[in-house]
Amino acid sequence: MTPPPPPAQYGAPPPTYNAPPSVKQNVSNLWYIAPVLFAILGGAVAWFLNKDKDSEKARNFLIVGAVMTVINVFLIYW
């Protein structure tokens, strides 16, 4: 005895939804000017505007802003 043939499919197959690949967008290195000039405020603005494009570089902007704040406070009170 042979198995019955598979049932015929009519129409298009159901769509499959794959998650889009996480692609880093190009973020300019000129953004480092903001935390250097404006310390933590510039770092926060640079982070906020670039966090969705390249989260690692945006985190670096925030770190540079924090470091510049510490340097400025040290220079003022030293």
Q: pLDDT tens digits, residue range 29-48?
A: 999 999 999 999 999 999 99
Cβ 57 vs Cβ 26: under 8 Å: no
pTM metric for this prediction: 0.67
Q: Identify the pLDDT of residue 22.
A: 64
pLDDT digits (tens, 9 = 90+) for 54-73: 999 999 999 999 999 999 99
CB atoms within 10 A of CB 42: 22
Q: Is the pLDDT of residue 18 over 90?
A: no
pLDDT-derived band of residue 19, with 50, 70 and 90 as boundaries?
Answer: low
Q: What is the DSSP letter of 51?
A: T
Q: Identify the pLDDT of residue 30.
A: 94
Domain boundaries along the sequence of the chain: 29-77
